[in-house]
Structures are given as C-alpha cells and as structure tokens.
Amino acid sequence: MSGIAQVDMRLNTDTGTLNAGGNTWVGLRGNSWGTVTLGRHDLHYGKQPDDIAVKAGALQAASVSLMDFVSNGTTAIAGATRTNNVLRYDSPNWSGFAFTAAYSSNPTTQEADLTSGARKGNAYNLNPTYTANNFGVGWSYWNQKADAAGAGSDQKSNVFYGYWTGGGFKVGAALNNSKVENGTTGAVQFDRRAWTIPVSWTSGSHNVYAHYTKANKDKVAGDGTEAKMIAVAYVYDLSKRTSVGVTYAKIDNGANAAYNFFTNTTFGGANTASLAGEDPRLLALTVRHAF
C-alpha cells in the first residue's frame, strides 16, 4: 500500500497569482484493491475520445464545447472543470475492465447549507470502462444537486463512448444526454442530446485530428437551440516530445443557441462570449512540448 498525492499548480503570468486549481488530491493505493483519493477531480465531462485538445494543443477546439453544455450552450454539466470535495475510488484493471466511483459532498464552490439550514448539495459519478488492444468503450453517469435548491440547480447526464484504432487511424463516437432540473419543483428546464465523431490519423511525424459534433434541438427550449461544430488540426512532430500544429474550428449556432469554444469565456474575457445565433470561428497555431 502506498500513500499518494498530487498538487496541480496553475500560474497566471498576467496577474502573478499561483494556485492549486487543477486536479489536486491525497490518497492511498493498493495493487490488489485499487485507489482511494480525496480532493478535486475531473469527473464526467470530456469523456468523448477526442484527441484534438491534448495532442494538438488546441483545448478550445475540443468537442466539450457542445457535448458538455446545456441551456442552449450556457450551462456546464459537471462544471466542465474539476469537481470540489470529492471522495473517489478507482478500481484495478481486471483484464480490461475497470471503473471509477466518486462522491462529492458539494460539487459547487458555495456552501449555502452550512448556516442557512437549506438543502445539502451533493453529486456522484459512476464510470465503468472496458479497454482492449485496439478498442475501448465506456459509460459515465452524473447526478448533481446543489446546495440551497433553486432554479436550474440539479443535473442528470449520461455519456456513452467508444473508439477503434488500426492502421494509423483512430475512429470514435460518443452520445451525451443531459438534463437540468429545477431544484425546488423537479421540473425539467433543459433536456438536450449531443453526439460527436472524432477521427485521427498518424503516419510518421504527420498527425491529423478532427471531429464533427452536433447538439440537437433542446426538447424543452424548442426551435433554434441546436448547434453543430467542426474542428480539424494538423500537427508535425519535431521530436518525440515537441510538435508544432495549426487548428481551425467553427461553431454554427441556431437562432437561440449560444454555444462557444471550450474555456473561451474563461481565458478570453466577457467580450468573447457568444450571443444567441452568433457563429464563433477559431484559428490556432501551437507549439507543444511534453516534459
């Protein structure tokens, strides 16, 4: 048995601030029984087998942009970031089978129940997977309720995903069905289904990554809430650890949809937010070095 820990530090060079904003946790690991950790973890979101973010260095072009947002593109499922206050168990790999089970005593940053007597929030995530030599499949289920029940505070989401590799190609698919409910009445406020098909090809130093992603019309919000996205990247490996690349992506929003590139509002500021019906475009040049 081993004691383990990770501190994921994030440096903001423009403001000079440093914080443990990434996956940060402490825990125990045993070869026979798995791993238990306490802290902050990425849960549920980003499960689709889309390589453009990591391998092309183009995070904003990831299919998360449509797959993990509802409310016509304005509300993130599972925060689309690390979940706070998590107790997580990761099983060993049993001949390809494995699973993750996680519970959060409060997935949001607020603690409204501590002094007010309001409803106590929580969330849980179940994520079984099977991985073989040239394919993998998985399912992730997310159920969240926030402290102090209110409009749009509860979430339920399912993601089914898989991929196949061969001959330098990787082809994947994922389906995401997510709902947002009123925390007081239980009424469904948003209910949308999204899907994506990511593909990649590698030959020597040449790499191509792409995906086509579509968010269907929301069953509650109605017409004009659909969106589609296409992204393609070419990456050339200068060495085993260093590469350069170029990425192009675009989102076509329906008249009442405001989907945006993943993290674009966070890193770009309020003026980069999409308005309903706007169609964002992205061109990125990247240099990536793996330490």
**What confidence tens digit (pLDDT) does each residue in 200-235 have?**
999 999 999 999 999 999 999 999 999 999 999 999
The reported pLDDT for the residue numbered 222 is 92
Specify the pLDDT at position 10: 86
Q: What pLDDT score was predicted for residue 265? A: 65
CA–CA separation, 50 vs 197, rounded Å? 8
What pLDDT, on the 0 to 100 scale, is given for residue 270? 59
Q: Which residues of the chain have pLDDT under 50?
A: none
Predicted local confidence at residue 150, as pLDDT: 59
pTM of the model: 0.92
272, 84 contact by CB (below 8 A): no
Distance between CA 274 and CA 65 in Å, rounded? 12
* Gyration radius of the chain over CA positions: 20
Give per-residue pLDDT as tens, 238-279.
999 999 999 999 999 999 999 999 988 666 555 678 889 999
Check residue 137 and give its pLDDT.
Answer: 98
Domains of the chain, earliest start first: 2-289 (2.40.160.10)
Q: What is the pLDDT of residue 147?
A: 76
How far apart are the C-alpha atoms of 175 and 179, rounded to whole Å?
14
Q: Using alpha carbons, select from 163, 166, 152, 161 the residue that is nearest to residue 194.
A: 161
